[in-house]
Structure 1
Amino acid sequence: MVSVLTLNIGAAAEPRAQRLLDWLDSRDEEVIVLSETSSGPGTALLLDRYTKAGWDVVHCPDSGGERGVAVLSRVATVRAARPEFTCVSIPGRAAYTVLDTQPRIGVLGLYVPNTKLGDKKKTFVSTLLAAVRSLPDEQLAHLVVAGDYNVISRSHQPPHSGFAAYEYALLDGLERIGMVDAHTRLHPDAHPHSWVGRTGDGYRYDYIYAGLRLAERITGSAYLHEPRTPPALTDHSAVTLDLVLDSTRLLDVGDPAAEDTPTLF
C-alpha cells in the first residue's frame, strides 16, 4: 500500500515550519505534498530536513516570488520517467514525480492561484489541464493529483457564489478525462471543508484525485482537521489517500525531525 498526504503550509516561517515538521514526522504516509511553499527559511528548513533524511524531494522554486508546491517521497522514484510540467503557466505551482511501484504511479502536486489573481489563475487552470491531457494514456490512468486546488465543485455544500466558470472547469476537466475524486468515491454523502474563512464559511479547497485505473485501488481517504485546530499549524486541513498496489520500493530514510540527521547520499 502507498499513502499520500497533502497539506497547505501557508508559506510557514521557520518556527511554524519546525512545528509542521514535528507533526508531519508523526505521520505514516510515504508521500507528502506540501502546497503554498515559499522561498523563505521555513520552506527551506522542511525541504532540507527531508532531503538530508534521504527522501526524494521535487520542488521548483520560482525566482519571481511565486508560492509553489513540493512532493516529498520515501518511495523510490523513477527520474527518467519524470517530465516537468514546463508548459504550465507557472511551473513552480506544479511538481510531478513517478513512483517506483507496480503499477507505476505518477504524483502531481498542485498549488493553484487563488481567485484574487484573476487572469493568472484562469491561465494556470487552462494550461494545467492541457498538460494533464497530454500525458500518455497509461500515465493518465495511474495519476494522482494532490494539493490545494483553490476551487470548489458545482455540488459544494453549502453553495458559494463568486466562482467563475473557468474555476469550475478544473474539477470538470479532471473528471472528463476519467479522474475520480478519491474522498467522494468512498464517502459520497460527505461534504468536508478544508479551509474556513473569517466569516465562518467553510470551503473544500484541498483534494486528491486519482486516475481511472486507480479507482478500484482506493481503500482510504480522510480530511484531517488537526493542523488547523488551535494552536494551528496552518489554516488548511490535510487530506490523505490510501492505495493498494502490487509492490512498492521504499528508500532507506532517516528521521527528518532529528536536527542531527546525517545526509544519506
Structure 2
Amino acid sequence: MPAFNRSDGRDVHVYDAKDPDTVIGGLVLTSGITNANLYSMVEIICFIDGIFFLRDEYDTTIQRDDSSLHPGKYYILTAGTVTPSDEPWLVRTISAGTGTRVAAFRDAVRDRDGRCIITGEVALSGHRGLWAGFEAAHIFPLAYEQHWTNYDYSRWITVPATSGGSINSVQNGVLLRDDIHTLFDSYLISINPDDGYKVVCFQPDGKNIAGKHLDQQFLEDPRRPVDQLLRWHFRQAVLANMKGAGEPVFECDFPPGSDMVGEILSGPRAGEVMEFELFSRLAVGDKPKATGY
C-alpha cells in the first residue's frame, strides 16, 4: 500500500547548531505560519535542555514574534542539549465509525455547528435532514478509547455525551466538509488553539484555509470543543508532519474488488493500521493500545 511522504516538498528545515549536517525535522511552509509558530513547533519535536533561540542560514537571529516565517534552514542554538522527541504519534487512518453510539455524537455536532467550522460553508439543507458533503469528525479518534480512558481525557469534558461514553461528547467533535474531514483525520490540517484558533496546513493549501481563524460565534458556544483536545490534535499534527522524515499518510481509497487487507499488510506500520481500521469500523469492543501523552 503506497504511503505519501510528508517530508517531500519541505522548504523549512530544522537542525541542531551543534550537528548542522543532521536534519531534525522540517515543514512545508503555508500561509499564516509565523516565527513564533516555528519556535512552538520546535518545542514539540525536540526536548531542549535550557534556553534556546533560532538562527537562519545567514546567521540572523530569528525573533519569537508574529513575523511571517520564510523558507530556509534554521538552527537551534542552546548551551544545553537538543534531543528529538520520543513522544508517540497515534496511527490514524480515514475510517468513519458506525453504530448507535456514534449517531448521537453526529447529531449533536450537526445541531451545534450547522456548517463546516473551518471553511465556514453552511449545510443549507441540514434543517431538512440533508447533510450530504458534511461529516461529524472526532478530534480524538474513537478507536483509541482505551487511551482516552487510561489518561483520563474525560476530565476536560463538561458536556456529557447522551450515549457512547465521554469520548462521544459534542466537545470532542467538529462538523467538517467531507474533504476537510479527510485532511483533518490525516493530520494534514489542524487548529492551533494557542494562536487565535488558527487553521494550520502542513501541505500546500488549495482550499484557501491556511491562516484562517475560527469565527467568534463558534468559539462563544459553551458546547464547543475544549482547548485541550484541539491542542492534542495540533500536537499530533506537528509530530506527524515535522519530526524526522514525518509519518506516513495511509491509503484510504479502496475500490470495490480491491485487496484492502493485502494493501494494508504490505504497507508501513501494518499491524497498527489494521487494528485502527478494525476498531474504527466496528466502534465496539476493546480498542487499540497506545502509550504516551
Give the TM interval when normalised to the shorter protein: under 0.3
TM-score using structure 1 length: 0.28
Greater Rg over alpha carbons, structure: 2
Q: Report which structure shows greater RCO (CA 8 Å, sep ≥6).
A: 2
Structure with the larger strand share: 1
TM-score using structure 2 length: 0.26
